[in-house]
Amino acid sequence: MSTSTWTTTYTYTHTATYLSDVIMGTIADVLALLGITPSDSNRWDEDQAAIAAWIEEQSLEMVVLECRRPDGTARPIFEFPIAYRAGEGQFENSRASMARAHAKISSVPSGSTYRLFCTFRMARTPQPGWGPGTRASTAGLRSTSFGSLADAPHASADLRYLR
């Protein structure tokens, strides 16, 4: 029988993989909830890999999901700020409480699309499929904090909702 085992030494790679997975999973749930067609799997892989790489090098400040309506406005917007710290904490997430919060998320018109942005706190390594971009204005949007989304030994991710 072939089995595999793993040590319990937590690395930055573990933290980056875990947080990027929870963030992408939350984005997946939001897109499905809003009826927005997700990007193809190749693009999805690029986005997950880029977010993981930037968390691992600790350059990533925030991931932003903008829902673009057919009239060109961006609403709602979801922000995933990342906080870094020394190696402490465990792998935990708040997916269950997020699921309960789905009812608070406003709908979007048919034909809406989405864009992902990342902001940085220091120089980052370029990643495939990512280039410079400009976020939509958040002026006039109301911000609601969903609190902690995921926790890992070297970093954590929160979630804010702007509508």
Partner 1 sequence: MQRRRTIAAAPRRTATEVWATICSLIGDTLERSSSINRAHVDTALAPLGQLARMLISAGHLENHPLVLVADDLWLEISTASGVEALTMDENLNPVPGGGTATDWTLHVPQVEPMAKLAQATAAGQAHLSADEPVEQTQSSASAATGVDVEALAAWARERA
Binding region for partner 1 (CB under 8 A): 1-8, 10, 13-15, 17-18, 20-22, 24-26, 28-29, 32-33, 35, 38, 40-41, 44-45, 48-49, 52, 90-93, 95, 102, 152
Cβ proximity to partner 1: between 33 and 141 the closer is 33
Cβ proximity to partner 1: between 108 and 152 the closer is 152
117: which residues sit within 8 A by CB, 6+ positions away?
63, 64, 66, 133, 135
Question: H or E segment at 15?
Answer: helix 12-34
Find the shortest distance in angstroms from Cβ 17 to partner 1: 4
Residue type, 14: H
Find the shortest distance in angstroms from Cβ 29 to partner 1: 5
How far is CA 129 from each of CA 6, 36, 111, rounded to the nearest angstrom? 32, 20, 23
Q: Say if CB 50 and CB 20 are below 8 A apart.
A: no
Residue 121 is given by DSSP the state S
Find the shortest distance in angstroms from Cβ 93 to partner 1: 7
Q: What is the 3-state secondary structure (H, E, C) of 136-149?
A: CCCCCCCEEEEEEE
Cβ proximity to partner 1: between 47 and 66 the closer is 47
Encoding tokens for residue 142? 């109301």
Cβ proximity to partner 1: between 41 and 134 the closer is 41
Find the shortest distance in angstroms from Cβ 14 to partner 1: 4
Encoding tokens for residue 161? 């909702």
Find the shortest distance in angstroms from Cβ 132 to partner 1: 26
In the block, residue with structure tokens 């573990």: 14
Cβ proximity to partner 1: between 46 and 135 the closer is 46
